[in-house]
Structure 1
């Protein structure tokens, strides 16, 4: 049978601290990605096709500032969109080319990841408090025996 990890042991403290550090870094990355995507320019596009493979995605046609029309297949995390419906697309341009694009209402994914990481952080803080508090001595030990 596997040995249980004692919370107040050195390895328990290391694991709880490591989980906390990774969760905080993950939350920072998710928040930075969400903020960066909010700053991208946007355009009104039209859904041309809807796919349901492993995950739902839509093919969207949208105009770029220089007049060209871009077609992209984007993951659909929000409401179901049928062909012909209008959507807002955020995109990132580098050297006149679209390098990344997303539906503007895909913020639900960031919220879900943020909440999950927040819960993990709260649990990790609790585990760290347990791991780093000194163990109480039993009161039945006489003062002279300490």
Structure 2
């Protein structure tokens, strides 16, 4: 760890943290925007699966060609029970689903975005301290 935030190493670490947090936030915003542009369909929860602290649901939803798709999707919002209707967003390539998610998983993007925003504010503050001129002795 750096001896002082004003040292060369401290300035490098402060800048690296800020750059990493900004890049992470850009990635989260890009992912959220891309996922919102995917096609969506109404599906039915068939089964709720729980593994440790994480939960997922097995959902059946229709594709544009009339076939049914069954996927196990992470549950980031409220608990879903079998028989409930949910909106599924999915990404198609060459007629096949390459990725799918429940439409209510925007909460996860918000949580990560807010956390990265706090890290960015901390990084800005650390950089202000690191790059501020040293007080001159009188």
- For normalisation by structure 2, the TM-score amounts to 0.97
Q: Deviations over 1:65-94 (max 9, x none)?
A: 000000000000000000000000000000
The CA distance in 1 between the partners of 2:17 and 2:5, in whole Å, is 13
Q: CA RMSD in A?
A: 1.0
Name the CA distance, whole Å, in 1 between partners of 2:120 and 2:91.
31
In structure 2, distance between residues paired with 1:4 and 1:24: 22
Name the counterpart of 1:90: 89
Shift of 1:4: 5.3
- Deviation digits for residues 37-73 of structure 1, max 9, x if unmatched? 0000000000000001031000000000000000000
Cα–Cα, structure 1 residues 83 and 104, in superposed 2: closer, same or farther, change >3 Å? same
Residue 107, structure 1, aligned to residue 116, structure 2: no
Query: In structure 1, what is the equivalent of residue 24 of structure 2?
Result: 26
1:43 to 27, 41, 44: 41
Distance 1:4 1:34 in 2: 35
Q: CA deviation at 1:5?
A: 2.5
* 1:144 matched residue in structure 2: none
- The aligned residue for residue 72 of structure 1 is 71
Q: 5+ residue gaps in structure 2?
A: none
8 A Cα contact 2:45 2:83, kept in partner: yes
Residue in 2 aligned with 1:17?
Answer: 15
**In structure 1, distance between residues paired with 2:131 and 2:92:** 48
Secondary structure (helix, strand or coil) at the match of 1:58 reads strand
Instruction: State how far apart, in whole Å, the 1-side matches of 2:5 and 2:42 are.
Output: 53
Question: In the comparison of the two structures, how many residue pairs are matched?
Answer: 137
For the pair shown, which has the larger CA radius of gyration, 1 or 2? Answer: 1
TM-score by length of 1: 0.92
Distance 1:110 1:8 in 2: 34
Runs of 4+ in 1 over 4 A off after TM superposition: none
The gaps in structure 1 that reach 5 residues or longer are 142-146
